[in-house]
């Protein structure tokens, strides 16, 4: 299969960092262990997408690591080959979920729904794994339902605690689950939103979920959907934190291995297209028709066949050519361009497409935790969104395209001044 051409290693990059490369590149499927993995896409060597650069680091060597995507025909799991230590990736983390109002509202809606459907009250317990800053659990807390977050990032867990969301600052897996179960902490509802893709030990993680759930407990798990990644050319969701890209077929096989039954599944729009899976264990768990319908749809689009994914790399190259041509045309007119969204996906796009300070003036981001730093690889400065009105670039490349509606509304003042946004995915367009 044709892979995306490798961008050159930046002159200031280093190729090895023993502290980070604690885990070797995988040669077997992270889920089923099959050694027959098919190469799908190679994005070359890239810096860690959330390794924002301090001012004193600018111009100094920056470690880069392979970013290659492979496919397991045995269980249909799409995954990257490189494993970076979670201690490096997540102990001090710059992403705070509460920065996005639409994400908080998405969390509120599912929380209120589960309170009603599961008849949750003061004697219940809701747990979230990778609970971030309490963006979801706060809604259960406000409804009078006891909560517990499990969040390994020390800085993020501290924010959750300060907001009144009890949080255990540990990595989740079978060992943590055993300790929680021994302490009598078995949740009525266990959430795991956008964390399963981050886990090197998939089987240990899912075994931990199964260990915590009794027959009445239910897990609610959200993951970006690999079909959306393919259909919308969402290649920029590929970075070292995201080890896996799931179909329902891959999830069902993984859960079944640990005695969990996928009872229901929904497709939701968050993060460019995600699956929300409801899972239980024991005799009370029962699969609904929605599960078989989606599994059948996946069989129809040949989820288990490498050829389904074969054209993805060519599509990425086309988007690269189109976006670089669009930006070059704007610059030739003497106009200025900035970017919005210092997200991990922005790092992947900028580094894969080799877009830097020759094209963009800065990157605006609403998170105060990112402002004052610079983007990995490109070293573009990260500033407050207020800088858009102050500086008034002619165009803004929207790196956080998954929150386009929210950001376009937030930046009405800039747009009223004549500013325009470029949305790069699934193909470049100006709004």
Say yes or no: 135 and 197 in one domain.
yes
> First vs last Cα of the chain: how many Å apart?
34
Answer yes or no: do 143 and 249 share one domain.
yes
**What CATH number is associated with residue 385?**
3.40.50.720
Residues 304 and 317 in one domain: no
Residue 5 lies in a domain: no
110 shares a domain with 61: no
Q: How far apart are CA 153 and CA 134, in angstroms?
A: 12
The answer to whether residues 268 and 163 belong to one domain is yes
Q: How far, in Å, are 248, 264, 427 from residue 297 at the CA level?
A: 10, 15, 25
Domain count, the chain: 3
Token couple for 119: 């008849």
Confidence of residue 284 (pLDDT cuts 50, 70, 90): confident
DSSP result, 186-228: --SEEEEES-GGG-S-HHHHHHHHHHH--TT-EEEEEEEBHHH
Q: Which of 248, 274, 309 is the last residue of a domain?
A: 309
Radius of gyration of the chain (CA): 21
Q: Which range of residues forms the domain containing residue 388?
A: 312-430
Residues 282 and 352 in one domain: no
Query: 1-10, 166-175, 387-396: lowest mean pLDDT where?
Result: 1-10
CATH number of residue 274's parent domain:
3.40.50.150
Q: Tell me: do 127 and 250 sit in the same domain.
A: yes
Residue 90 scores a pLDDT above 90: no
Residues 195 and 210 in one domain: yes
The whole-number average pLDDT for the span 97-112 is: 93
Distances (CA, A) of 322 to 3, 316, 353, 397, 411: 18, 10, 11, 13, 25
Domain end marker among 22, 47, 81: 81
CA distance linking residue 6 with residue 27, whole number of Å: 21
**DSSP letter string, 23-86:** SPPP-S-TTT----EEEEEEEEEE--TT-PBPGGGTTS-EE-EEEEEEEETTT--EEES----H
pLDDT tens per residue across span 109-158:
999 999 999 999 999 999 999 999 999 999 999 999 999 999 999 999 99
Q: Are residues 363 and 414 in the same domain?
A: yes
- Place 87 in a pLDDT band, splitting at 50, 70 and 90: confident
In a domain, 89, yes or no: no
Cβ contacts of 216 within 8 Å, gap of 6 or more = 188, 284
Answer yes or no: do 101 and 223 share one domain: yes
pLDDT value, residue 337: 98
Last residue of a domain, one of 38, 54, 81: 81
Residue 337 and residue 234 in one domain:
no
Per the CB < 8 A criterion, the answer to whether 128 and 150 are in contact is yes
Co-location of 373 and 346 in the same domain: yes
Query: What is the reported pTM?
Result: 0.87
To which residue do tokens 């894969």 refer? 352
């Amino acid at each position: 299969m044709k892979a995306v051409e490798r961008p050159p290693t930046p002159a200031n990059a280093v190729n090895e960092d023993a502290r980070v490369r604690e885990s070797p590149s995988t040669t077997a499927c992270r889920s089923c262990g099959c050694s027959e993995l098919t190469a799908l896409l190679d994005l070359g060597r890239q810096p860690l997408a959330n390794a924002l650069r301090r001012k004193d680091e600018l111009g100094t060597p920056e470690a880069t690591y392979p970013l290659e995507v492979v496919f397991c025909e045995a269980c249909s799991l799409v995954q990257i080959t490189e494993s970076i230590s979670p201690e490096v990736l997540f102990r001090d983390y710059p992403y705070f979920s509460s920065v996005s109002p639409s994400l908080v509202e998405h969390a509120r809606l599912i929380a209120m729904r589960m309170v009603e459907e599961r008849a949750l009250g003061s004697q219940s317990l809701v747990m979230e794994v990778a609970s971030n800053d309490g963006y979801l659990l706060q809604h259960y807390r406000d409804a009078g339902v006891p909560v517990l977050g499990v969040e390994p990032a020390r800085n993020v867990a501290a924010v959750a605690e300060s907001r009144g969301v009890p949080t255990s600052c540990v990595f989740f897996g079978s060992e943590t689950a055993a300790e929680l179960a021994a302490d009598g902490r078995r949740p009525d509802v266990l959430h795991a939103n956008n964390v399963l893709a981050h886990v090197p030990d998939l089987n240990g993680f899912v075994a931990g979920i199964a260990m915590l759930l009794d027959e009445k407990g239910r897990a609610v798990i959200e993951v970006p959907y690999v079909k959306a990644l393919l259909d919308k050319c969402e290649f920029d969701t590929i970075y070292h934190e995201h080890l896996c890209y799931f179909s329902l077929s891959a999830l069902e096989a993984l859960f079944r291995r640990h005695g969990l039954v996928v009872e229901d599944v929904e497709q939701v729009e968050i993060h460019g297209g995600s699956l929300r899976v409801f899972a239980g264990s024991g005799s009370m768990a029962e699969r609904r028709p929605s599960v078989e319908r989606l599994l059948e749809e996946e069989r129809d689009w040949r989820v288990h066949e490498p050829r389904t994914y074969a054209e993805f790399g060519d599509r990425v190259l086309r988007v690269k050519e189109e976006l670089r041509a669009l930006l070059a045309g704007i610059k030739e007119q003497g106009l200025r361009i900035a970017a919005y969204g210092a997200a991990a996906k922005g790092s992947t796009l900028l580094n894969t497409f080799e877009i830097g300070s020759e094209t963009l003036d800065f990157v605006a981001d609403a998170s105060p935790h990112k402002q004052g730093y610079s983007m990995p690889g490109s070293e573009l400065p990260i500033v407050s969104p207020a800088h858009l009105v102050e500086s008034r670039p002619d165009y803004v490349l929207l790196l956080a395209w998954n929150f386009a509606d929210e950001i376009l509304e937030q930046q009405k003042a800039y747009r009223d001044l004549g500013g325009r946004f470029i949305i790069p995915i699934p193909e470049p367009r100006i709004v």
